[in-house]
Amino acid sequence: MSSEMIVVCGGGGFIGGHLVADLRRQGFKNLRSVDIKPLGEWYQKFDDVDNLQLDLQKREACEKALRGARVVYNLAADMGGMGFIENNRALCMLSVLINTHLLMAAKEYGVERFFYASSACVYNADKQRDPNVTALKEADAYPAMPEDGYGWEKLFSERMCRHFREDFGVRTRVARFHNVYGPNGTYDGGREKAPAAVCRKVIQAKQSGKLEIEIWGDGHQTRSFMYIDDCLKGVEAIQNSEILEPINLGSSELVSINQLVDIVEDIAGVKLKRSYNLKAPKGVNGRNSDNTLIRKYLNWEPEVKLRDGMEKTYRWIHDQIASGKKQH
């Protein structure tokens, strides 16, 4: 097992915390985890990891984070679900400072491998107007018309990774995440995404005896959701691959938000009266991942069935709520 230092930026977050846990499981010893949140608010924290609380929008913080690093995973961003993204566009854009300063530090310190977590929000909105969406191919990001704020920042940062690779030799790899979900993540407070939000709403409806649920949008909008275990497998495979261009990392199992609620109701053993908030943020009408390219390169694609992943996610959120734990 290599002793080279691996740094996970955003390690106190949902995906980053799982990535640190997975690297530890594989036997990597020289790990550093960096996040802006106070250590007590990290989703997962390990005493045998070098845990640093730093604001990676600042250049000096990025230099401190990457000193001695050989491999870097940049999962750090100020983000959340559609409610957060649509109402905090400037904050989302400022994440460009994180990737910019990390790339500058990576170049300065001769980092060997640099992974950047992009998003399906980079895709052209015109190709996502129909719930019966044609799955998005990597080429569909151009001509550019991404999600305002968050999507533009991701697309710009993808290009920066490309040019640091071409001009300075920093070995960058980029994956476009499609809706990652699972245990040990946000399920309350405004930054949660649809799978966790639906789990929380169903659990609270069942607990209160008020068997109703509010759904954002008309419920017909479609998405694909990738379970965290698939995400980790993909991230590490892409980091260690020869894939130069940004690549989709998502499930191709398309589901409407109504169908997602059906699944969670079935897990919970309950049926709820539905009301639809048409004024709430709902994002694009349809989005799915075309996995032709990742199958070609890796002979693999995300494979955990939505029902199976949602069952694990529901159980974890249920236990958190039942134990009276509050999210920060």
Residue predicted with more confidence, 291 or 281: 291
Q: What pLDDT, on a 0 to 100 scale, did the predictor assign at position 328?
A: 58
Render pLDDT for 128-146 as a digit per residue (tens, 0 to 9): 999 888 899 999 999 999 9
Q: Judging by beta carbons within 10 Å of its beta carbon (0-12, 13-18, 19+), is residue 38 exposed, middle or buried?
A: exposed
Helix axes 150-168, 96-109, angle to 10 degrees: 20
Rounded average pLDDT over 181-194: 90
Query: So what's the pLDDT on residue 2?
Result: 64
The whole-number pLDDT of residue 1 equals: 53
| pLDDT at residue 104 tops 90 | yes
Q: What is the pLDDT of residues 34-45, one digit of tens each?
A: 999 999 999 999
Q: Dump pLDDT digits (tens) for 207-258.
A: 999 999 999 999 999 999 999 999 999 999 999 999 999 999 999 999 999 9
Q: For the residues of 7-34, what is the DSSP string, one character each?
A: EEETTTSHHHHHHHHHHHHTT---EEEE
What is the rounded average pLDDT of the residues 256-276?
Answer: 97
Burial class (CB in 10 A: 0-12, 13-18, 19+), 145: middle
Active-site positions read 150
The pLDDT of residue 84 is 82
**Mean pLDDT calculated for residue range 188-202:** 92
Give the three-state DSSP class for 243: coil
| Contact in structure between 92 and 85 (CB atoms under 8 Å) | yes
Q: Is the pLDDT of residue 53 over 80?
A: yes
Burial 260-280 (b: 16+ CB within 10 A, else e): bbebbbebbeeebeeebeeee
- Does residue 288 carry a pLDDT above 80? yes
Q: What is the pTM of this model?
A: 0.95
Neighbours of 26 (CB within 10 A): 8
pLDDT of 78 reads 83
Q: Taking all residues of the chain, what is their mean pLDDT, rounded to a whole number?
A: 95
Q: Which residue has the tokens 């649920």?
A: 213
- What is the predicted pLDDT for the residue at 182? 97
What pLDDT, in 10s, does the model give residues 293-312? 999 999 999 999 999 999 99
116-126 CB burial, b ≥16 within 10 A, e <16: bbbbbbbbbbe
Question: Poorest-confidence range of 30-39, 49-58, 257-266, 281-290?
Answer: 281-290
pLDDT of residue 281: 82
Pairing of strands 222-224, 254-256: antiparallel
